[in-house]
Structure 1
Amino acid sequence: MFVDKAKVFVKGGDGGDGLVAFRRELYVPEGGPAGGDGGNGGHVIFRVDEGLRTLMDFRYQKHFKATKGEKGRNKSQHGANAEHMVVRVPPGTTVVDDDTGETVADMTRHGQEVIVAKGGRGGRGNIRFKSAANTAPAIAENGEEGQERWVTLELKVMADVGLVGFPSVGKSTLLSVVSGAQPKIGAYHFTTITPNLGVVDLGDERSFVMADLPGLIEGAHTGVGLGHEFLRHVERTRIIVHVVDMSGMEGRDPYDDWVKINDELKLYNPKLAERPQIVASNKMDMPESEENLEAFRKQVAEARPDIVVMPISSLTKQGIKELLFRVADLLDSLPQQSEIEEIEKQAKAEEGVVYRYEATGDLDFEIKRDNEVYVIESEAIARLMRRTQFNSHEAIMRFGRILRGAGIDDALRKRGAKNGDTIRIGKFEFEFFEGGSDDYIFDDA
């Protein structure tokens, strides 16, 4: 089965907590702080593996969580950093943030890596808080939480040549004849519902990858008939081989079919109209095909003089060899700077760019009222709280000093806060003191 879309949860490892410890050695009286920093949490990293062709593995495993950093040690020893979690994905995978719709990465080349969930930074141990004013601090920080989010993986087939056309025009049969692929073939519409890949070897040291893409119908650019699921794969191909049923079976007009499919490609992505295209007029072994081919060639020549029409029959293999060599020659003539290489450059430039999960220097905040409670909302302060160990009196005083330094006390007074009023930040509540005392009393909300 070909799976080309999957939704997974990724979470970077939490940072290890910093440690409060003091030197307790013989002949070292008042040895001072010796608590080490916690280790950094592991990242979740997606890496392209050209050996993969589908997203099948993500049907069975949808959660990827990196390990937590080790807690800080005594004797000023740093906790070990966690190992990163590496998740293999096939080339052609696009990673999209499920909440924002932002494209995190477009992964196209073997070995390319991108961090999709950054691990949290380890908390600082009490050795980091030593100063002339406080030579024996009992303060340490919690490790930072790892980034977490749901992402959607979309796989676009990486092929040199894409076969497009209406259902039942013979695309699957053509692929089976020219390669070792064994796609499902049947005398009914929509036999192919997922892309099939095959390697075409010309025997002259040239080869290319051909993709049999599911049949398109009118309205595909708007999503009709799973149109978007099919059309996304056409974007990756360097050449389009447009297969047309020249027999005119079922009362269809070959030229009308060709125009409609090209319109769908253009409406979905205007760049596809500029993609090199060869028309393979299939089923030339049928009685009406020769007559239809003559009229078809004239109409195509008037509309697109640059497009070559090549008569073939997948059943009798008529014209197959000529078609393949024409495709190979066209591939050789294309400039090396293809659209795929542009995508790779962009992906490389964006490699490792993820949501930054580190506090900024300024503490932006907003104060709201919830009945008699003053609620402070600030992502920077929320990060600070997650890193503060509130079981330590010194840590609480330090937290209060940071809030006052950010101007929160003054802002609360302007909003009418008085001595004894309840202030809520996240899940914690404390009493406000107009005098600016360091004695903040925190309780779980």
Structure 2
Amino acid sequence: MFVDNVKIYVKGGNGGHGAVAFRREKYEPSGGPAGGDGGNGGSVILKVDEGLKTLMDFRYKRHYKAENGENGKSKNQFGKKGKDLILKVPPGTVVKDEESGNIIADLIENGDTFIVAKGGRGGRGNSKFATSTRRAPRFAEAGDKGEERWIVLELKLIADVGLVGFPNVGKSTLLSVVSAAKPKIANYHFTTLKPNLGVVNLGEGQSFVMADIPGLIEGAHEGVGLGHEFLRHIERTKLIVHLIDVSSQDGRDPVEDFYKINEELQKYSSKLAKKPQIVVANKIDLPQSKEGYDKLAKEMEKLGHKVLPISAVTGEGIDKLKYIIWDKLQNIEEDPIFEEVKEKVYDFKENRQEVIVKKEGDKYIVEGYPIEKLLKSTNFDDLDSLRHFQNIMKKRGIFDELKKLGIKDGETVSVCGYEFEFFE
């Protein structure tokens, strides 16, 4: 099954918590702090595998989470780092942030990697909080959460040549004739419901990749007839081969067909419409094709295009077409195939530094990830730990903000869901 667009949820592993421990040796039963740091969480990493041609592996499983880091241990032993989760994707995969639609990565070459969700940092053990005045801290730091987000993976085929045209003009037949590809072929509209790739060999060191793009229809640029799903696969091609049925079997006008397809390309992407085109008249073997061919050739002459007559069924003009394509490819300036990658929609580190102090009705509220982490790191039964909690709150200006809002001694403040009495 060919799948070229999926939405998945990715989450980096959480960092392990730091440990609270003390040395307990034979001749030193009350030693100093010896709690180790927690391990970092694993990251979710996308990696290009040239053996893959589809995003089918992501069709049925949508949630991916890397391993959490281990908690710290006694004797200053660090927790083990969580394993990274590596997700393999085919070449040509574009990664978008689902919320904004911004492109955050474009993975082209085999082996390319991108960290799409970083693991959280491990928390520090209590040995890291020992000072000259605090010899035996009974608290440690909680590990950071891993990054999490919804992303969209879009596959855009990487081919030298893109075959375009209305349904049933013979694109699949042509691809099967010029390459070893075996697309499904039959005499009805939308035979091809997925792009097909074929390698065209002309001789030693002379070959190119051709993509048969499913038939376009009017309104394709707006998504009609799965237009978006098909059009994106020709964005990376260097050259477009525009195949036109000149036999008028379906009562179509070849000149109108030429302009309609180009109009769809222009509306979808002005860059796509500017790509070099070879206009090819197919089904020239049919008796009624001469009138259509002459009409098309006359119109194309006005635009500076030469029309190449072929028959994908009898093989007429096929070899000539292959060499024309090859020569044309040699003279096309290399066009960057990378998408414009925008900066990340948000900086996860900055996003989780935010602390909100507000008043809703008669209730004072403090919330934000740094405070949530501080709560998890605090041992409220220990005086040193409680003092550490208060010092951090004071340094962050939280007490000053609460006083600006009018809080009085003895009033209740909700800190990340936990209620405390305020005393200056």
With normalisation by structure 1, the TM-score equals 0.90
CA distances 1:296-347 after superposition (whole Å, capped 9, x unpaired): 12211212x1x34211101101101111111111122223x3221x54xx66
In structure 2, do the counterparts of structure 1 residues 55 and 100 end up closer, same or farther at CA, with 3 Å as the change threshold? same
In structure 2, do the counterparts of structure 1 residues 213 and 395 end up closer, same or farther at CA, with 3 Å as the change threshold? farther
RMSD: 2.2
Distance in 2 of aligned mates of 1:389 and 1:95: 42
Residue in 1 that maps onto 2:260: 260
Distance in 1 of aligned mates of 2:381 and 2:287: 88
Residue in 1 that maps onto 2:191: 191
Q: Is 1:57 matched up with 2:48?
A: no
In structure 2, do the counterparts of structure 1 residues 385 and 338 end up closer, same or farther at CA, with 3 Å as the change threshold? farther
In structure 2, do the counterparts of structure 1 residues 387 and 28 end up closer, same or farther at CA, with 3 Å as the change threshold? closer
Residue in 2 that maps onto 1:439: none
Residue in 1 that maps onto 2:171: 171
8 Å contact from structure 1 (residues 96, 104) kept in 2: yes
In structure 2, do the counterparts of structure 1 residues 354 and 25 end up closer, same or farther at CA, with 3 Å as the change threshold? farther
Residue in 1 that maps onto 2:316: 318
Distance in 1 of aligned mates of 2:390 and 2:225: 60
Alignment of 1:36-51 (within 5 A): 36-51=36-51
Distance in 2 of aligned mates of 1:423 and 1:79: 35
TM-superposed CA distance for 1:359, in Å, is: 6.1
Q: Is 1:135 matched up with 2:135?
A: yes
SS of the residue 1:263 aligns to: helix
Distance in 1 of aligned mates of 2:30 and 2:51: 60
Q: Is 1:339 matched up with 2:330?
A: no
Distance in 1 of aligned mates of 2:263 and 2:81: 54
SS of the residue 2:349 aligns to: coil
Distance in 2 of aligned mates of 1:386 and 1:331: 62
Unaligned runs of 5+ in 2: none
Distance in 2 of aligned mates of 1:385 and 1:231: 52
Residue type of the alignment partner of 2:324: R
In structure 2, do the counterparts of structure 1 residues 388 and 150 end up closer, same or farther at CA, with 3 Å as the change threshold? farther
Alignment of 1:237-276 (within 5 A): 237-276=237-276
Q: Is 1:89 matched up with 2:86?
A: no
TM-superposed CA distance for 1:115, in Å, is: 0.5
TM-superposed CA distance for 1:161, in Å, is: 0.9
SS of the residue 2:203 aligns to: coil
With normalisation by structure 2, the TM-score equals 0.94
TM-superposed CA distance for 1:393, in Å, is: 5.1
8 Å contact from structure 2 (residues 141, 374) kept in 1: no
Residue in 1 that maps onto 2:326: 328
In structure 2, do the counterparts of structure 1 residues 114 and 417 end up closer, same or farther at CA, with 3 Å as the change threshold? same
Identity of matched residues, % = 53
Q: Is 1:225 matched up with 2:234?
A: no
Residue type of the alignment partner of 1:328: W
Residue in 1 that maps onto 2:25: 25
Residue type of the alignment partner of 1:424: S
SS of the residue 2:225 aligns to: coil
SS of the residue 1:95 aligns to: strand
Distance in 2 of aligned mates of 1:100 and 1:388: 37
TM-superposed CA distance for 1:401, in Å, is: 1.5
Alignment of 1:279-358 (within 5 A): 279-303=279-303, 305=304, 307-335=305-333, 337-340=334-337, 342-343=338-339, 356-358=347-349
Residue type of the alignment partner of 2:335: S
Distance in 2 of aligned mates of 1:100 and 1:425: 31
Residue type of the alignment partner of 1:193: L
Q: Is 1:181 matched up with 2:178?
A: no
Residue type of the alignment partner of 2:7: K
8 Å contact from structure 1 (residues 142, 389) kept in 2: no
In structure 2, do the counterparts of structure 1 residues 354 and 368 end up closer, same or farther at CA, with 3 Å as the change threshold? closer
Distance in 2 of aligned mates of 1:93 and 1:390: 49
SS of the residue 1:237 aligns to: coil
In structure 2, do the counterparts of structure 1 residues 98 and 388 end up closer, same or farther at CA, with 3 Å as the change threshold? farther
In structure 2, do the counterparts of structure 1 residues 360 and 117 end up closer, same or farther at CA, with 3 Å as the change threshold? closer
Unaligned runs of 5+ in 1: 437-445
Alignment of 1:44-123 (within 5 A): 44-123=44-123
8 Å contact from structure 2 (residues 137, 385) kept in 1: no
CA distances 1:53-73 after superposition (whole Å, capped 9, x unpaired): 001111232221111111112
In structure 2, do the counterparts of structure 1 residues 161 and 410 end up closer, same or farther at CA, with 3 Å as the change threshold? same
In structure 2, do the counterparts of structure 1 residues 420 and 73 end up closer, same or farther at CA, with 3 Å as the change threshold? same
How many residues align? The count is 424
Distance in 1 of aligned mates of 2:98 and 2:336: 26
In structure 2, do the counterparts of structure 1 residues 102 and 383 end up closer, same or farther at CA, with 3 Å as the change threshold? farther
SS of the residue 2:6 aligns to: strand
Distance in 1 of aligned mates of 2:382 and 2:152: 41
